[in-house]
Every structure is written in C-alpha cells, then in structure tokens.
Structure 1
Amino acid sequence: MKRKIAALIFLGSGLAVTGGAVLSSSGPEDAPALELSDHMRGFLKHEMLMLANAGRGIEAALAVEDHARVKEFASHMDKAFIMQKEVTTLDLRELEAVLGEEFVSRDKEFHAMARALEAAAKAEDIVGQRKIFDDMLRACAACHQDYAPEAPVLE
C-alpha cells in the first residue's frame, strides 16, 4: 500500500512540480511545458494536487472497503478535470500546442477511469474498484514517464 501511495504522490506532484512535459528533452530546462503560460501551469498544478489528494483518499478507503468514500474521491478526481472548468478555448489551444493532443487524450481517458471507479464504488464492487484504481495508477505512471520523468516525489 505504501508503494502505491508513494507512486500516487509522485504522479500527482509531477506536473505540479515541473509544470508539464519533458518528453524528449535533455533536461528540465528544455521541457516543453516551460513554454506554457503561468496561467496554464497553475491549472495543471492545481489539478495534479487535487488528483494526488483524492488518490490518497481512495487508497485509504479501499483498504477498509469504504465504498462511499471511494465513490466520493473518484468523483473528486473526475471533477478535477481542468478542461471542463475555467479553461478557455485559447487555453486549450495552448495546452495542445505545447503538450500535444496525446496529453489531452490521456487526461480525458484518466477522468473516464475515475467515472468508472465511481460507478464500481456505487455498485460496491470492491474487486472492480481495486482493478480500476490499479489501472489508473498505471495510466498515471505511463503518462508521467512520457511527460514528467524528472518530477520529484513529494514527502
């Protein structure tokens, strides 16, 4: 469990700390996300911190099979979706131009998994919840490997 929490903290902090991607860059100073406006880096930082907090809550709730809390935190993860909030069309164009359509697509897929986790929790399907949450952690790891590999782990 501690490994999953550490991974989630890492994943949730990655973009928050680096501000974005480091796909094929030679170092953090070359990361494409550094080209993002402070405004967009702020949105990403906020979302990653919300996701990390919700993930820690899900991990704890799964440990005691608290379906209601898993459902609540999964809902929080879905609603952290920056593209559905205060982001303008111009902001989305900036995000896609700098990080690419693949990043946006992965983010959308992740939030779809959060909705699936919420549904599994509502159905009190603990096996499904654990599988979906593990899939979410793998999706986080894969995305961060591609976009923020040098992001430090927060304690």
Structure 2
Amino acid sequence: MKHKLFAAILISLAVATVALAAEPVTPKLTDKLSRLLQQEMRSIQAAMGTIHTAMVTGEHEAVARNAQQIHDSFILKQSMTEQDRKDLMAAVPNGFIKLDKEFHKLAAELAEAGKMKNTEKQSQLYSEMSRACIACHGEYVSDRFPGLNSTL
C-alpha cells in the first residue's frame, strides 16, 4: 500500500512539474524584451543557416566567424536597461537562462572547431546547438511553436 501511495505521489509531482515547465514565457515578456528576443533569434537563425552551408562546403572560416557572432550576439544583454533585466528575470525561469548560456557556450566551441578546421566536431556541435534550440522552443515558447510539443 505504501508503494502505491508513493508511486501516486511521484506521478502527481511529475505531472505537475511537466505542466509548470511547459508554461510559455512569451506572454510574460514586456514588448521591448519580446522585440529584442525576436531580433536575436532572427540573427541566430540566419547565422545557423550560413554555418550549415559553410560546414558542408568546407568553408571553415565562415563557420568560425558566424559561430563567434552567435556567441557574441547577446543583443538582449547589450540593449537592456536595469529595469529590462529585472523584467526578464521575472519573466523567465532559471532553466531558460541555463539553456541560453549553454547554447552560447556551444557556439564558442563551434567557432573554435571552425578555426581548427575540424569538420566532424563542427557537425557534432551544430547538432547539439540545434537540439538546444528545439528544447528551448519546445519548453519555453510552445505558444509560438505548437509543433514542438516535447523537448529532446
């Protein structure tokens, strides 16, 4: 009996955690933060496309340059006031910030792999970056991307 009760509690907690984790952050953002995030995402999307083409054509310098631009693309950070920072921290959970930092770290590693002309490592890191995009969009922007109903 204790095991069934314990299992039921665990299942309830898991369901509650999933429900909480899946809550989109978009409605919680100020208009300015929403615009800045969208601007940064468009910039990253363009760079990711360029990186893919450069990877498959052996243009290592272009991989390195564009990956470094992603790493350095903290449009939010560069354009935010102190109040914007407070608003962002109030709107997004720690997991969002963690995913963002990991993504930019991967971009720096990809830039290094481009400089080293290591195509295999570039491919691996590009895949990891793509998975990070999917995970973040599925978890925190599911209202904009309903087709990403689960994270990787």
Shift of 1:152: 4.9
Instruction: Give the count of matched residue pairs.
Output: 127
CA contact (8 A) 1:23 1:148 kept: no
Alpha-carbon displacement from aligned partner over 1:107-129 (angstroms, at most 9, x marks no partner): 11111110000011001111111
Provide TM-score, normalisation by structure 2.
Answer: 0.76
Gaps of 5+ in 1: 1-21, 26-30
Picking from 36, 39, 44, the partner of 1:43 is: 36
Q: Structure 1's 69 and 80: CA in aligned 2 closer, same or farther, altered over 3 A?
A: same
Compute the RMSD of aligned alpha carbons.
1.9
Shift of 1:82: 3.0
Please give the secondary structure, in 2, of the residue aligned with 1:149.
coil
Structure 2 letter corresponding to 1:90: Q
1:149 matches 2:142: yes
1:3-152 equivalences in 2 (<5 Å)? 24-25=22-23, 31-152=24-145
CA contact (8 A) 2:22 2:142 kept: no
Gaps of 5+ in 2: 1-19, 147-152
Please give the secondary structure, in 2, of the residue aligned with 1:80.
coil
Highest relative contact order (Cα 8 Å, sep 6+), 1 or 2? 1
Task: Give the share of equivalent positions with the same residue, in percent.
Answer: 28
Provide TM-score, normalisation by structure 1.
Answer: 0.74
Moved over 2 A (4+): 22-25, 149-153
